[in-house]
Amino acid sequence: MNSSRLLRSTSLPGAIMLGLGSIVGTGAFVSLGFGYALAGDMLLVAILLAAFVALCNGLSSAQLAAVHPVSGGTYEYGYEFLNHDLGFIAGWFFICAKSASAAAAALASAWLMNHYLHWPEPAVIGLAVALLLGITALVLAGLKRSNQVNAVLVSLAILSLMVFVVWSAQQPQALLPAATREPVAGSDIFAASALLFVAYTGYGRIATMGEEVRSPRRTIPRAIVATVFLVTLLYCAVGWALVRLRPIQVGEDFILTQLIPSGWVHNMVFIGAIFAMLGVALNLVLGVSRVVLAMARRRDLPLAWSRLNIANTSAPAATLVTVAIMIFIALFGGIKLAWTFSAFTVLIYYSITNLAALRVKTAQRFIAKVWSVLGLVGCLGLAFMVDFEVISVGIIVLVIGLIWHRYRFTKTY
């Protein structure tokens, strides 16, 4: 008989590896450059601020996942601890945020490849779509196979980043461009932290795996904390290298390879960046499809999207819907714009996470409420530091989602 629940097949190391695979990618190779463009020599401060907010949110996510370990993350937590409107908003914004991140990762990978291919822009966008379709095939083949691919991708990414850091440390200080920046405004540091926060949110991928990890009450909190700690160390190392190199100009297509002359170091970082961002896209397809699955089960999305395959190892309909959204964004969005939109929507998503964590009963708590309060204040504060145009689009998307939800809610109940 075909059960409606996914098999628990992922251990603590596997959960950490999935978290690392969801984080170490576009954030390390691209968004740190966006952060440097805003914060300059204060980049490390922006990284640590983003890490602190991420840690607060990670603890709230761990608290919620421990007492309510199901697929769907804050979408399910919102329903369980808050109300159906906030639960829906969480799911709606998660899909928007992570689909935009995946589209940005696929586009960045395609543009990197195009440094050698020299294709016209439409062909590059087509390549990004092809990459997303290839990742879809892996996901539909089952989580175990995707885990194996993820382990290879994240290992290559970390190795290439370490090569970049070591290379930058060996550059003579006299050969580096002099800093010409004016003093950095506090608002720029906060704006940089908002963009960098997105690069931490792979731990949310762990929380959406409530049905798939062994001993979720123990595994999920430990995996989230360990992942945030390891990534902070890595980002600080790369951020230190950026501040040391002081690139004069950081454009919307910036990537670490632009700072390295031709040679084996350049090629190593180049290859690591491509595979890391493909790893991010892989994990985002998995994570977003699980939220689509949860929303379909509750009929906030069409019920047919909740069907699993015969072996209960994947959700084909939810996965295909997820990739269709990502492809749509890739066709019409740019890398930096998609990343900024992801920042706003994911910060609102985690605001709801912290609200839900504050509603957990005292007897079930293992973290103090102050962590969730700090996470809530941090998320709301950073969310409104991004460009006003992006905030406006986010509000429009929110209104459209609520209209749809109210229609479905009235029709169903």
Residue 311, number of CB atoms within 10 A of its CB: 9
Residue-level pLDDT at 360: 93
DSSP percent split of the chain into helix, strand, coil, nearest 5? 75, 0, 20
- What is the distance between the alpha carbons of residues 339 and 337, in angstroms, rounded to a whole number? 5
What's the pLDDT score for residue 337?
Answer: 85
Domain ranges of the chain: 12-412
pLDDT at site 207: 65
Residue 155 CB-half CA count within 13 A = 6
pLDDT at position 44, please? Answer: 95
Which amino acid makes up residue 88?
A: F
Residue 2: what pLDDT? 45
Q: What is the pLDDT of residue 365?
A: 87
Specify the amino acid at residue 87.
Answer: G
pTM: 0.86
* CATH T-level assignment (fold) for domain 12-412: Amino acid/polyamine transporter I (1.20.1740)
Tell me the CA distances in angstroms from 96 to 167, 265, 281, one per residue in order. Answer: 37, 35, 14
pLDDT for position 257: 80
The DSSP annotation for 66-104 comes to: HHS--TTTHHHHHHHHS-HHHHHHHHHHHHHHHHHHHHH
How many angstroms from the chain centroid is the CA of residue 400?
23
pLDDT along the chain (413 residues), means of 10: 52 77 80 89 94 92 81 84 94 93 90 85 90 88 64 86 92 52 82 93 68 71 84 94 80 77 90 85 83 87 86 82 93 83 94 95 88 96 92 93 84 63
pLDDT, residue 178, reads 46
